[in-house]
């Protein structure tokens, strides 16, 4: 049957139900609310084209309307994991999975009352993901305001462990959480759907947020049984998860090279392509059953070196190798300059730390620093800049000393720079080896 006739038929059913309700002396409220939800569910048009995710969980069912036009990368990632159209890494056996829904069977592992519920971690403790990370992108209006702030209950947002570390984990808000704006990507909200009206979806989230916990872990598991992706309208049907510049996982080939020695030993090497902006994991096994990560390296530039595995083979009767490649080249990440010599980095800290300007000399390895407010300054004992140190990251390590309000000090910062544009972005790192993070925004002033 033609799609248009099917829709007309469903609309007629809805209208007939409405006429039945109108003839009731006192139609039940639940009946009417479900009738309205059914009408919205069946009667979508191209004008309101949208993509939905219908969650079936042990704690209740609900529907998420996704912001694919404003946050295409986060939505593409979620859809691709939910329906299995994206390749992901199963970290329990280090094998790539394709065509396998990621979220089915995963639980909401973290519940904080009057805050949020969090899920998307296969190991159930929040320390893993799909084997890749993607960048932060925040849709804004012409005045720079966020299009989707954390301003209400029922928003779905990406969980992360820092700048540009989005993966598979997400949370759904139980209250407004404005302090998360510009830190976590809101990519959808609770909506009416096949399970009932908006209010029933909100009620399901509220119930899960109030589930008894030990610490932040639910006493009774809240499990995602299934997530069905539903598209309404031609524009939503045309949304391509593979065209949103996400990282790409693959299993490239490798060559094993062996050069025997007179003493019966030899030199064993693995040879494989190391393209620019890729992370390659070398996986090894004794028996083709149990695999472990032997080496993981990020290549900011193309590399042609080989890996010496002689020492490993000297202690093994047999050894097997395979590769997992993570290609970050599609990602729209600006990246920093090749060198920061004779330039200046202006660091604006989020926390109660004084801002500083780092003025790098011609060598690119030392220089001076000062506070913009004139309350301190000194010399850089050492300065190290690593462009493309990791995916989405340029790194600086600064050892500096000076005088601030009458006190001498030595300070060491290890900072990851994430360029949102050629002239600046955000940073995150540590000071003096402390586990406490520092962060903020930075501006790069190139030499004249």
Which pTM value belongs to this model?
0.85
Residue 417 known to be catalytic: no
Each residue's pLDDT tens digit, 217-249: 999 999 999 999 999 999 999 999 999 999 999
Whether 410 and 402 have beta carbons less than 8 Å apart is answered as no
What does the domain layout of the chain look like in residue ranges? 44-243, 248-327, 344-445
Q: How many helices (H) and strands (E) does the chain have?
A: 6, 27
Catalytic residue chosen out of the listed positions 52, 134, 171, 383: 171
Say whether 361 sits in a helix, a strand or coil: coil
Q: What is the pLDDT of residues 260-307, one digit of tens each?
A: 888 767 899 999 999 999 999 999 999 999 999 999 999 988 998 899
86 is an active site residue: no
Question: Which one from 42, 115, 320, 411 is the annotated catalytic residue?
Answer: 115
Tokens linked to 439: 């962060």
Our answer to whether residue 184 is catalytic in this structure is yes
Residue 394: CB partners within 8 Å, gap ≥ 6?
Answer: 335, 336, 385, 386, 387, 388, 416, 417, 418, 419
Q: Which one of the listed residues 110, 150, 388, 426 is annotated catalytic?
A: 110
pLDDT of residue 409: 62
Whether 122 contacts 81, CB under 8 Å: no
The reported pLDDT for the residue numbered 1 is 42
Q: What is the pLDDT of residue 34?
A: 54
The pLDDT of residue 261 is: 82
pLDDT value at residue 266: 83
Is the CATH number 2.40.100.10 carried by domain 44-243? yes
Closest CA to 384 of 369, 362, 373, 399: 399
Which residue in the list 109, 148, 150, 184 is annotated as catalytic? 184
Render 379-410 in DSSP notation, one character per residue.
Answer: EEEEEEEEEEEETTEEEEEEEEEEEETTEEEE
With a cut of 50, list the residues of the chain below it in pLDDT.
1-12, 14-22, 25-27, 29, 31-32, 35, 43-47, 405-406
* 244 included as an active-site residue: no
pLDDT of residue 402: 65
Catalytic residue of the set 50, 61, 71, 118: 118
- Are residues 63 and 190 in contact, defined by beta-carbon separation less than 8 angstroms? yes
Which of 50, 61, 137, 160 does the annotation list as catalytic? 160
171 is catalytic: yes
> Of 245, 214, 9, whose CA–CA distance to 135 is shortest?
245
């Amino acid at each position: 049957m033609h799609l248009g006739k099917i829709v007309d038929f469903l609309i007629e059913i809805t209208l007939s139900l409405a006429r039945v309700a109108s003839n009731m002396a006192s139609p039940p409220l639940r009946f009417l609310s479900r009738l309205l939800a059914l009408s919205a569910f069946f009667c979508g048009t191209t004008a309101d084209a949208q993509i939905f995710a219908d969650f079936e969980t042990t704690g209740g069912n609900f529907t998420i309307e996704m912001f694919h036009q404003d946050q295409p990368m986060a939505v593409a990632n979620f859809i691709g994991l939910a329906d299995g159209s994206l390749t992901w890494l199963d970290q329990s056996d280090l094998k790539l999975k394709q065509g396998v829904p990621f979220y089915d069977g995963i639980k909401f592992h973290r519940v904080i009352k009057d805050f949020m519920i969090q899920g998307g971690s296969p190991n159930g403790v929040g320390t893993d993901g799909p084997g890749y990370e993607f960048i932060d992108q925040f849709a804004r209006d012409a005045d720079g305001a966020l299009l989707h702030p954390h301003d209400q209950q029922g928003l779905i947002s990406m969980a992360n462990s820092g700048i540009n570390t989005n993966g598979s984990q997400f949370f759904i808000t139980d209250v407004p959480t404005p302090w998360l704006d510009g830190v976590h990507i809101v990519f959808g909200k609770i909506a009416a759907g096949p399970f009932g009206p908006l209010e029933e979806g909100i009620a399901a989230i509220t119930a899960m947020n109030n589930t008894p916990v030990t610490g932040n872990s639910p006493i009774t598991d809240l499990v995602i049984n299934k997530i069905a992706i539903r598209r309404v309208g031609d524009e939503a049907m045309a949304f391509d998860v593979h065209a949103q510049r996400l990282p790409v996982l693959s299993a490239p080939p490798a060559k094993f090279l062996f050069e025997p020695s007179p003493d019966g030993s030899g030199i064993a090497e693995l040879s494989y392509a190391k393209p620019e902006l890729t992370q390659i994991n070398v996986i090894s096994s004794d028996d083709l059953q149990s695999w472990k990560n032997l080496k993981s390296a990020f290549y900011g530039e193309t590399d042609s070196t080989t890996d010496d595995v002689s020492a490993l083979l000297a202690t093994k009767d047999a050894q097997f190798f395979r590769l997992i490649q993570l290609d970050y080249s599609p990602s729209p990440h600006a990246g920093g300059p090749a060198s920061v010599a004779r330039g200046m980095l202006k660091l604006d800290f989020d926390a109660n730390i004084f801002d500083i300007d780092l003025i790098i000399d011609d060598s690119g390895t030392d220089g001076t620093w000062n506070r913009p407010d004139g309350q301190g300054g000194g010399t850089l004992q050492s300065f190290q800049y690593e462009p493309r140190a990791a995916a989405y990251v340029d790194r600086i390590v600064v050892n500096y000393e000076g005088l601030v309000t009458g006190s001498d000090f030595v300070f060491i910062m290890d900072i990851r720079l994430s360029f949102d544009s050629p002239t600046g972005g955000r940073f995150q790192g540590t000071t003096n080896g402390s586990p406490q993070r520092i962060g903020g925004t930075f501006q790069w002033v190139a030499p004249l």
